[in-house]
Structure 1
Amino acid sequence: MPALISRMGKRLRRLIERPASIELTRYEALLPAVGELEPDVEKLTDAELTERTAKLREHPQFGDDELVELCALGREAARRALGERTFDVQLLGTLGLLAGHVVQMETGEGKTMAGALAAAGYALQGKRVHVISVNDYLARRDAEWMGPLYRLLGVSANWVEPALTREERRAAYAAEVTYGAVSEIGFDVLRDRLVTRPEDVVQPEPEVAIVDEADSVLVDEARVPLVMAGSVDAAVADVEVANVVRRLRLGLHYETDSDGRNAWLTSAGASVVEKALGGIDLYGDSGSDRLAAVNVALHAHALLTRDVDYLVRDGKVQLINASRGRVAELQRWPDGLQAAVEAKEQLPATDRGEILDSITVQALLARYPQVAGMTGTAVAVAEQLREFYRLEVAVIPPNKPNVREDQPDRIFASPSQKLRAIQAEIRSVHETGRPILVGTQDVAESEELAEKLAKVDLPCVVLNARNDAEEAAIIAEAGTYGAVTVSTQMAGRGTDIRLGGADGKDRERVAELGGLHVIGTARYPSSRLDGQLRGRSGRQGDPGSAVFFASLNDELVLAHAPDVPEGIEADDETGEISDPAAQRQINHAQRVAEGVHLEVHRNTWRYTRLIEHQRRELLDHRSKLLRSELAAETLEKASADRYAELAEALEKDTLVQVCREIMLYHLDELWSDHLAFLTDVRESIHLRALARETPLDEFHRTAIPAFHKIIPEVEERSVKTLDDAEISSDGINLAASGVRRPTSTWTYLVHDNPFDSDFEQTLKQVRSLMRRKKD
């Protein structure tokens, strides 16, 4: 009876402290057996340890005995290969990953090791494993760091990164465990969908995915699909329009909505633009061809900010990935907007492109029969992980209790008063010698704060999208005595901050002073990001503290909860607010922001679910064309005389490949056209709501018949191409027949929200026009 009461009490405590998480009792029960095996395993030579691990390959499914054996051998291999003995909680994390859960482990608790042992466990069961991270740096770092561990366990491991050739990628994916950034693995999937020879495919069929920083990848990144585009020709920006729009002023010539997603001309702004462009009527026949250019130039001018949304570096516009605080390599906005931003910055326009294919992170992960993940903040998104990925959260207790002091938010009436208080806080803490980490919202804020600190003799190190290549060294030294580090987006940086610096020589000195002090310059749009910044302090039971500064005029509040209750008073001298209502308002704004992001995710999935179903159906057909003689058989049947003529002039293998390339070209082209068509449909589908029709249902009614026309149209176009193809002594000239592949590819940054589209901007333009007529 007492044991039953104890178990019930433990379960109740888990539900209260860690809602939406699963029980770990079954896995905790295995840990004593792992400890009992430890003395025997320590006596093994390296060769014997590898040989004993190899025996686990005889079991395609692991039971409790195999799990215990894996943990014991993995712990000893880590001690020998890396000089680190894994804690029981790390082994608990490994077991949670092997059970297919998202494990929540606090910063500094050893997620990388737990993930590596789990990856080895899956590999020993004969499964290919992809360890998916948020960026290329972490993928390579973890693969190299864990390499000796894998070798001792007899498991092959490798990584993929942008610089690799096709052959090197194929070799990396041939390993039992492959590390890679989510974008890199996703784009390899998209590139494989464009190949015309079976031997050019680099990725084998996926089996297991272990997702590092799972909340960032599965939730934050899920709102931005991976989009592959191909070069068509040089883009042309309307420089005249860009010069006109550059002179417009907010509030007078144009307005923006509260969340900064849309901008539209006022009647005064439209008059200025029309006059500057030669007296045209933007909303009439004489100006209709310039309206799109004005809209996109206004978007670039009003909604995209240099050093926040993008950098200008090496004469190029480079996008910043907001969720990571890093430059988004080989990524750009859709054509018109990219050219408009380049015109705004007076740079030459880059190539125009066409979208070839796309995939959401959700669809990418759905390809894997088994998925698991690890992060420091999973409970906050447990419901989303269950809803979108059917994943459960397992909360792993820390190895040592967390003693970090999380101070209450300090709230101010205005951003300028808040900034002065932050400077004062940095000065007072710095004078004690404690290291300080300041988390800012974007590049511009980090550099502004660094300049202000330099003016008052408080030098700091800045980590943002401009210098993310040096991030590991910067973060590693952030715990040094007297260090001040200013960073954008600490989420996913992936490097622990050790007290006393990378070598830890001043650890005791810094610990006695109180450890690392974390300062947030504003609350993030997600409580998870707040938690990830706080979690940089207090790792492994270290002392530390964290405090967030906020203002009732921060972007978060203005965008999501601008109606601040009356009667909130600030201190006349400092502007600080102690009224609890101010804290409630900021918390409310954050909850609204989280709700908006969740709805974007839901809406994205509602619309892309059908597209993904169509894509899978088409890919099955494409795979048959790629890996068999189906294309040749189809064209021989449809155009027997022409096929016979070509069969006399060409070797059979050459003719089969020609037919394959023709049909694959038209299949890919029509799929690209279908995606563009569906985008147009989504941008106007909400008109159906005015007729009391359900937009999603109407989207399906439009999309399904259009999809069923693709394969017949592929055959029809292919026959025409075959009939018109030029034949020379060198064979068939496909390029002259219009069968040309893009010369280069890149990715688009697309915020795929069906309820925030160009159509909404058009409605606002119409409203502006109606206001002009009334005036």
Structure 2
Amino acid sequence: MIQFVKQLTNDQSRRLKAYERRVARINELETTMKALSDDEMRTYTETLKARLLDGKKVDDIAEEGFALVREASVRVLGMRHYDVQLIGGFALLEGNISEMPTGEGKTLVAALPSYVKALEGKGVHVITVNDYLARRDAEQIGKIHDFLGLTVGLNVPDIEADEKRSAYQADITYGVGTEFGFDYLRDNLVHKPEERVQRPFHFAIVDEVDSILIDEAKTPLIIAQKDRSHIRLKQLAQQIISEFEETDYEVDLESKSATFTEAGIVKIEELFAIDNLFSASHQVLYHYLVQALRANVLFELDVDYIVREDKIELIDLFTGRIMEGRSLSEGLHQALEAKEGVTITEENKTTAEITIQHYFRMYPLVGGMTGTAQTSRQEFLKTYNMDVVQVPTNRERQRVDHPDRIFMTTEQKYAAVTEKVAELHATGRPVLIGTTSIAQSEAISKHLKKKRIEHDVLNAKTVAQEADIIANAGQFGKVTIATNMAGRGTDITLDAKAKEAGGLFVIGTERHESKRVDNQLRGRSGRQGDPGATEFFVSLEDEIVKRYAAQKLERVEKKLKPSATGEVSSKDAIEIIEYAQTTIEGLGVSIRDYLFKLDDVLNEQRNIIYTIRNQAVNADADAITKNVLGMMRLALENSIDMHVSDELVPEEWPIDELKDDLRYLTMQEPTWAKDIADTRELKDALNDWMEAIIATTASRLEQDDIVLFAKESLLRAVDMKWTDHLTTMSGLKEGIGLRSYGQEDPSRQFGKEGLEIFEQTYINIARDVTTELCQLDRYFAEMAEEEV
């Protein structure tokens, strides 16, 4: 471990020295840039573009580009990049993560590599965590790019397709990461090339990269169709589960899973008068009962979701924000609706999905920015091949991070937080209280109200005022409660009196599931050398302790000697908190790695389907012809393989069923000689018949209108069967974890069974295409009748 740390330190040192040499050359160019007129600066942009077209690499012109952007920023915004910001820019340009504390000006840093990479003319995407920041950065930093002759686009939800297309055609496009991912999925559902909005991926800069690429990595982006089936069954499932006792189910808090016990299964079978709940005929019932159970025991109101205007709105546990327009799939969202008694909406049936991980891995180069990435360096390297560069601060940090204060109970913790806030508030020192849920923020608020301490509350219910509340949190006398990472991306500026009072004091009310998130909260204080302090108040009743250190606590609880206020200062208590957080961090990495392996299987399948689909959308006649003729051959050969085998003698073959299936596929009578001895002879005998059908189709595909028909048939079959495939794979993923109990590797088994399912999906697509192409005569006859 010591050797690894030494190596890491050496690598960082060498890299920073190389960047510093480049910064020195940029500083030498500053006089030259200052001497240029505004028009000459725009001309310089065209000169750099021309040099790239002549064969120069981006790295060759990066120093001049950075110097140009710095001078443009001075002229347009009155802001000059610090040397450390230039270092951050080089880290991004190389596809790494610039770790820069809050207040170091990451937004301005992004202007440097985004400009240089945009000169290649292939588009740059700058990703933010919310719409507000995307609009703000496009407006502010966009002025620099516009001044230098580049175009800027904004990609946010709910804008028209033409606006999106225009935004993507811009040199630099700002927007929210999820919206870029949804646009990718939508582009792979179109029927005409001109309906697409994106162009090929080139370079992305991801702000708050740890939040987007790690914290949100487990949540797939899903486009779905509405399905109103089984509404009554969902209500019935909720009614049954609400009456269950704790002995009827088991909950695993570590993996957040819930299963029925033997007693629960017997109870269900008796209620429905069925013999076997797990039989195929009861699969739908079992699925909705499991979802109702999960909704009741794993999801908590005002923690995982809120109810507003007769709707369930999901909360992002890492940001504390409402996940606008997002819903849970596979009937789980409807189970929550049934639980809370709100109107049950249509279920979402997935038609397209992709994880954030796999979406951003499609970019040839991705750079990221955050104040907290080093603790996840190995995960970034393994998953995204992105290294972390710790950029020095412009001014030395003055913030004081106090050790945790630990209490026996939650109420004792809240009482201590209230006393601390009252003590600080009496001096006028601004206080920011970070909580992990809405419920917690409201509980703290009640305590402060009893003390008559005025305060603002920022959580998923008050997100509309987010920027204003956070921006004012550093004013003298202000007390602010903020859920988790609410307000991330907005600087907290201190006024003079607040600085005199000691700066912003940040109080954490619970350790988060990741030290990174704790550090993000601490980072709200002490920006740009400002004074400040942080302190975490935790209890041995906190959720993280109950879920991940309950047994450890039980062993040492009697040795703890709390004070009259319930405070514990023993080493054992500190170790329990550390153990709980280390455990959940390790589990989080394992879960993300496991899900990544599972999603890798689906990603390979998606790439195959989307390749076929895009060839059809592009009206690539050669590719369409090759694909559909290959599918016809596959469908016909598979039909034979399904019905006959060498394990049976020819007299035992279901010949009538084979003939019926071939007749269904081709609309023609299959013929072969009698006295077939084995499958090889049968295939040889049918070969001329099959090849004649395929040859007829091939000759017809020389006509443009037939190619168009084949294109639509192919798209129709692909979309329908891919939707069914996603539902099947989701069910497989749901149950694959149980395979570990049978000493099987779940991810390997998922890959194996997923391949078998995909092969059948592909055959089903081939069968649909074959039946449509073999009915061309009927299709054109019907068209002729309609014209008459």
TM-score, normalised with respect to structure 1: 0.85
Deviation at 1:689, TM superposition (A): 5.0
User: Counterpart of 2:749?
Assistant: 698
Deviation at 1:585, TM superposition (A): 1.4
What are the within-5 Å matches in structure 2 for residues 555-570 of structure 1?
555-562=543-550, 563-564=552-553, 565-566=555-556, 567-570=558-561
What are the within-5 Å matches in structure 2 for residues 150-161 of structure 1?
150-161=145-156
Task: Give distance in 1, aligned partners of 2:762 and 2:278.
Answer: 40
CA distances 1:368-409 after superposition (whole Å, capped 9, x unpaired): 111111111111111111111111111110000010010010
Corresponding letter in the other structure for 2:370: T
User: Counterpart of 2:39?
Assistant: 47
CA distances 1:495-536 after superposition (whole Å, capped 9, x unpaired): 01000xxxxxxx221111100010000010100000000000
- Contact 1:491-1:529 at 8 Å conserved across structures: no
Match of 2:769 among 695, 699, 718: 718
- Contact 2:612-2:627 at 8 Å conserved across structures: no
Task: Give distance in 1, aligned partners of 2:506 and 2:616.
Answer: 57
Does residue 607 of structure 2 align to residue 616 of structure 1? yes
Q: 1:708 to 1:239 in 2, by over 3 A?
A: closer
Q: 1:289 to 1:328 in 2, by over 3 A?
A: closer
User: Counterpart of 2:363?
Assistant: 368
- Contact 2:58-2:117 at 8 Å conserved across structures: no
User: Counterpart of 1:677?
Assistant: 728
Question: Which is further off, 315-324 or 237-246?
Answer: 237-246
What are the within-5 Å matches in structure 2 for residues 53-202 of structure 1?
53-60=45-52, 61-62=56-57, 66-202=61-197
Deviation at 1:552, TM superposition (A): 1.4
Match of 1:542 among 530, 544, 547: 530
CA distances 1:429-481 after superposition (whole Å, capped 9, x unpaired): 11110111110001111122223212321121111111223211111111111
Deviation at 1:485, TM superposition (A): 0.9
Q: Which runs of 5+ in 2 are unaligned?
A: 633-665, 667-691
Match of 1:338 among 305, 326, 333: 333
- Contact 2:466-2:486 at 8 Å conserved across structures: no
User: Counterpart of 2:293?
Assistant: 298
Q: Which runs of 5+ in 1 are unaligned?
A: 1-10, 500-506, 734-775
Q: 1:407 to 1:15 in 2, by over 3 A?
A: farther
Does residue 564 of structure 2 align to residue 573 of structure 1? yes
User: Counterpart of 2:674?
Assistant: none
Deviation at 1:548, TM superposition (A): 0.5
**Aligned with 2:491: secondary structure?**
coil
- Contact 2:265-2:277 at 8 Å conserved across structures: no
Question: Which is further off, 545-554 or 441-450?
Answer: 441-450
Corresponding letter in the other structure for 1:543: P
**Aligned with 1:180: secondary structure?**
strand
Deviation at 1:296, TM superposition (A): 2.1
Deviation at 1:280, TM superposition (A): 7.2
Task: Give distance in 2, aligned partners of 1:693 and 1:705.
Answer: 17
Task: Give distance in 2, aligned partners of 1:88 and 1:283.
Answer: 67
Q: 1:92 to 1:242 in 2, by over 3 A?
A: same
Q: 1:282 to 1:513 in 2, by over 3 A?
A: farther
**Aligned with 1:30: secondary structure?**
helix
Corresponding letter in the other structure for 2:227: V
- Contact 1:377-1:532 at 8 Å conserved across structures: yes
- Contact 2:560-2:573 at 8 Å conserved across structures: no
- Contact 2:248-2:264 at 8 Å conserved across structures: yes
CA distances 1:314-343 after superposition (whole Å, capped 9, x unpaired): 211111121221111221112422111111
Deviation at 1:631, TM superposition (A): 3.9
CA distances 1:627-649 after superposition (whole Å, capped 9, x unpaired): 1234468669967999999x99x
Corresponding letter in the other structure for 2:511: R
How many residue pairs get aligned? The number is: 713
What are the within-5 Å matches in structure 2 for residues 482-561 of structure 1?
482-490=477-485, 493-499=488-494, 507-561=495-549
Corresponding letter in the other structure for 2:256: R
Task: Give distance in 2, aligned partners of 1:731 and 1:299.
Answer: 55
CA distances 1:252-279 after superposition (whole Å, capped 9, x unpaired): 665422337123456776787778x588
CA distances 1:239-263 after superposition (whole Å, capped 9, x unpaired): 24423433455x4665422337123
Match of 1:382 among 377, 386, 390: 377
Does residue 460 of structure 2 align to residue 468 of structure 1? no
Task: Give distance in 2, aligned partners of 1:617 and 1:274.
Answer: 42
CA distances 1:140-160 after superposition (whole Å, capped 9, x unpaired): 221122111111121111121
CA distances 1:579-609 after superposition (whole Å, capped 9, x unpaired): 1221121111111111001001111122222
User: Counterpart of 1:755?
Assistant: none
- Contact 1:231-1:352 at 8 Å conserved across structures: yes
Does residue 29 of structure 2 align to residue 37 of structure 1? yes
Task: Give distance in 2, aligned partners of 1:14 and 1:86.
Answer: 31
Task: Give distance in 1, aligned partners of 2:382 and 2:278.
Answer: 47
- Contact 1:439-1:489 at 8 Å conserved across structures: yes
Corresponding letter in the other structure for 2:445: A
Corresponding letter in the other structure for 2:466: E
**Aligned with 2:719: secondary structure?**
helix
**Aligned with 1:331: secondary structure?**
coil
Deviation at 1:70, TM superposition (A): 1.6
- Contact 2:560-2:572 at 8 Å conserved across structures: no
Q: 1:355 to 1:13 in 2, by over 3 A?
A: closer
Q: 1:303 to 1:44 in 2, by over 3 A?
A: same
Q: 1:572 to 1:57 in 2, by over 3 A?
A: same
Task: Give distance in 2, aligned partners of 1:332 and 1:13.
Answer: 42
Q: 1:642 to 1:708 in 2, by over 3 A?
A: closer
**Aligned with 2:216: secondary structure?**
helix
User: Counterpart of 2:652?
Assistant: none
User: Counterpart of 1:626?
Assistant: 617
Q: Which has the higher contact order (CA 8 A, sep 6+)?
A: 1
- Contact 1:160-1:172 at 8 Å conserved across structures: yes
Corresponding letter in the other structure for 1:309: D
- Contact 1:78-1:84 at 8 Å conserved across structures: yes
Deviation at 1:287, TM superposition (A): 8.5
CA distances 1:293-315 after superposition (whole Å, capped 9, x unpaired): 33322221221111111111121
Deviation at 1:32, TM superposition (A): 2.3
**Aligned with 2:315: secondary structure?**
strand
Amino-acid identity (%): 37
Match of 1:239 among 216, 231, 235: 235
Corresponding letter in the other structure for 1:390: N
CA distances 1:697-728 after superposition (whole Å, capped 9, x unpaired): 33333333443444443232023245287679
**Aligned with 1:332: secondary structure?**
coil
**Aligned with 1:187: secondary structure?**
helix
Deviation at 1:576, TM superposition (A): 0.2
Task: Give distance in 1, aligned partners of 2:785 and 2:320.
Answer: 49
Task: Give distance in 2, aligned partners of 1:204 and 1:721.
Answer: 32
TM-score, normalised with respect to structure 2: 0.84
- Contact 1:189-1:203 at 8 Å conserved across structures: yes
Task: Give distance in 1, aligned partners of 2:273 and 2:230.
Answer: 26
Deviation at 1:59, TM superposition (A): 3.0
User: Counterpart of 2:581?
Assistant: 590
Q: 1:719 to 1:479 in 2, by over 3 A?
A: same
Task: Give distance in 2, aligned partners of 1:728 and 1:43.
Answer: 76
Q: 1:292 to 1:547 in 2, by over 3 A?
A: same
Does residue 718 of structure 2 align to residue 667 of structure 1? yes
- Contact 1:436-1:519 at 8 Å conserved across structures: yes
